[in-house]
């Protein structure tokens, strides 16, 4: 297989799991900082004529991980890679897909331009915050979904009389997808964001009384959205026996651990799109490695990805 896989510092474990699924090893890279703080990257093996896959979520620290990815791409392109695919399991800046007020950049669009400028020819990502992301690129973007792997991880222990809860209007489509798999009703929480880490619930659409909530979202950042939604659902009569939280991306920054620990939760399930250095007992991490290995195999063999993609 003329395939090379490299990773920056964002998620070496997921890269290794993916490479193991392909029966190859991860390419050696030296990432170092010059005394003035500049990043320097050097790949340690030939990629000439290879299909190169760079696996790097742009998770916190976002700028570091993004720059590593751009430098790796440039290094591989200049070293003669035949094709260059960036697998960005968590795509940072996707939430900045428009200007909310007048004097802001459209961050997602700018990041897309940077990735293309670095020589990346195709992007693979998982449950990006907005599917509009694709429109910012001229190169192909494949949106994978973590819903099947996360839904399967919950399926065997689905609480009876449950309800799938979208913690905001933006998560309604995602909630529908889980509800279809689990054959459950859905409820939607109408939230207003007060600041980067605080939100307020306005009302709940749908029936939650006497049902165990399973709150689903694309990401948990500070945990404010999940906390507010779960508290509102329980206050509206939802059952507090082992509610679940399921999210594609566990950023878990700032007060997230403290907030989630303080809730009457059974489990929080996330994928390993973002590396999880801490593993508290309430957190279950489901690996995307087998899915990414399957995607690399199919791309390499020019096979369809259609059943793995999200069409919303
Ligand atoms: C927002 O629309 C997203 O889908 C998430 O709900 C949000 O980013 C989560 O952030 P936090 O955990 O800080 O509330």
Q: What angle do CA 123, 197, 130 make, to 5 degrees?
A: 25
Q: Which atom of ligand 1 is nearest to the CA of 196?
A: 13
Cα of 146 vs centre of ligand 1, distance in Å, is 17
Cα of 215 vs centre of ligand 1, distance in Å, is 12
Query: Which protein residue's CA is at the shortest distance from atom 4 of ligand 1?
Result: 218
Residues 6+ apart with CB under 8 A from 183: none
Per-residue confidence (pLDDT) for residue 128, from 0 to 100: 96
Q: Which of 132, 201, 219 to mutate to test the pocket of ligand 1 (most atoms within 8 A of CB)?
A: 219
φ and ψ of 85, to 5 deg: -115, 130
Please tell me the distance from the alpha carbon of residue 132 to that of residue 140, in angstroms, as a whole number. 13
Counting residues of the chain whose pLDDT is more than 90, the rounded percentage is: 90
Tell me: the pLDDT tens digits for 268-284? 999 999 999 988 999 99
Tell me: the pLDDT tens digits for 38-61? 999 999 999 999 999 999 999 999
Per-residue confidence (pLDDT) for residue 166, from 0 to 100: 97
Please tell me the distance from the alpha carbon of residue 287 to that of residue 292, in angstroms, as a whole number. 10
Please tell me the distance from the alpha carbon of residue 5 to that of residue 28, in angstroms, as a whole number. 9
- The token duo for 291 is 């899915």
Query: Which protein residue's CA is at the shortest distance from atom 5 of ligand 1?
Result: 219
Is the pLDDT reported for residue 26 higher than 80?
Answer: yes
Classify 83 as helix, strand or coil: strand
Q: 154 falls in which pLDDT band (50, 70, 90)?
A: very high
Cα of 164 vs centre of ligand 1, distance in Å, is 17
Is 111 within 8 Å of 66 (Cβ atoms)? yes
Is the pLDDT reported for residue 1 higher than 80?
Answer: no
Is the pLDDT reported for residue 183 higher than 90?
Answer: yes
Rg of the chain over Cα atoms, rounded to whole angstroms, equals 20
Is the pLDDT reported for residue 201 higher than 60?
Answer: yes
Q: Which atom of ligand 1 is nearest to the CA of 228?
A: 14
Q: Which atom of ligand 1 is nearest to the CA of 253?
A: 13
Q: 110 falls in which pLDDT band (50, 70, 90)?
A: very high
Is the pLDDT reported for residue 111 higher than 90?
Answer: yes
Cα of 32 vs centre of ligand 1, distance in Å, is 33
According to DSSP, the residues that pair with 204 across neighbouring strands are 189
Is the pLDDT reported for residue 92 higher than 90?
Answer: yes
Residues having CB closer than 6 A to ligand 1 are 129, 167-168, 170-171, 197, 199, 217-225
Q: Catalytic amino acids?
A: 191
Is 109 within 8 Å of 133 (Cβ atoms)? no
State the pTM of this model. Answer: 0.95
Q: Which atom of ligand 1 is nearest to the CA of 256?
A: 12
Please tell me the distance from the alpha carbon of residue 186 to that of residue 180, in angstroms, as a whole number. 10
Helices and strands in the chain, H and E counts: 8, 14
Cα of 23 vs centre of ligand 1, distance in Å, is 36
Q: Which of 166, 218, 260 to mutate to test the pocket of ligand 1 (most atoms within 8 A of CB)?
A: 218
Please tell me the distance from the alpha carbon of residue 159 to that of residue 117, in angstroms, as a whole number. 48
Is the pLDDT reported for residue 311 higher than 70?
Answer: no
Alpha-carbon distance values, 202 to 40, 193, 219, 232, 275 (Å): 48, 10, 21, 9, 33
Please tell me the distance from the alpha carbon of residue 145 to that of residue 126, in angstroms, as a whole number. 5
Query: Which protein residue's CA is at the shortest distance from atom 1 of ligand 1?
Result: 170
Query: Which protein residue's CA is at the shortest distance from atom 13 of ligand 1?
Result: 222
Classify 133 as helix, strand or coil: helix
Alpha-carbon distance values, 205 to 62, 115, 161, 170, 189 (Å): 35, 39, 17, 13, 6
Average pLDDT, the chain: 95
Q: Which atom of ligand 1 is nearest to the CA of 199?
A: 14
Query: Which protein residue's CA is at the shortest distance from atom 6 of ligand 1?
Result: 225
Instruction: Choose among 58, 6, 55, 61: nearest CA to 30.
Output: 6
Cα of 71 vs centre of ligand 1, distance in Å, is 29
């Amino acid at each position: 297989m003329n395939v090379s896989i490299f990773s920056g510092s964002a998620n070496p474990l997921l890269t290794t799991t993916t490479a193991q699924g392909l029966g190859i090893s991860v390419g050696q890279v030296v990432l170092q900082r010059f005394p003035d703080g500049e990043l320097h990257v050097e790949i340690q093996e030939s990629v000439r004529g290879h299909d190169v896959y760079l696996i790097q979520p742009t998770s916190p620290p976002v700028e570091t991980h993004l720059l590593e990815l751009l430098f790796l791409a440039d290094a591989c392109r200049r070293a003669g890679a035949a094709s260059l695919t960036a697998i960005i399991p968590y795509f940072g800046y996707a939430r900045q897909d428009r200007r909310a007020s007048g004097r802001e950049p459209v961050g997602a669009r700018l990041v897309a331009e940077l990735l293309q400028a670095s020589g990346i020819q195709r992007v693979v990502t998982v449950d990006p915050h907005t599917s509009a992301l694709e429109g910012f690129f001229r190169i192909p973007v494949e949106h994978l979904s973590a819903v099947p792997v996360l839904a399967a991880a919950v399926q065997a222990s689905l609480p009876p009389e449950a309800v799938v809860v979208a913690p905001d209007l933006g998560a309604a489509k995602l909630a529908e997808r889980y509800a279809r798999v689990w054959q459950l009703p859905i409820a939607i929480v109408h939230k207003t964001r007060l600041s980067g880490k605080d939100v307020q619930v306005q009302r709940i659409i749908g029936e939650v009384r006497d049902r165990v909530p399973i709150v689903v979202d694309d990401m948990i950042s500070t945990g404010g959205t999940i906390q507010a939604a779960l508290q509102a659902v329980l206050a509206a009569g939802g059952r507090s026996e082992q509610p679940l939280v399921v999210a594609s991306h566990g950023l878990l920054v700032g007060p997230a651990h403290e907030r989630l620990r303080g809730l009457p939760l059974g489990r929080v399930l996330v994928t390993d799109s973002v590396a999880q250095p801490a593993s508290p007992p309430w957190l279950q991490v489901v690996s995307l490695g087998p899915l990414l290995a399957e995607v690399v195999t199919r791309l390499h063999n020019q096979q369809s990805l259609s059943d793995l993609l999200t069409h919303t």
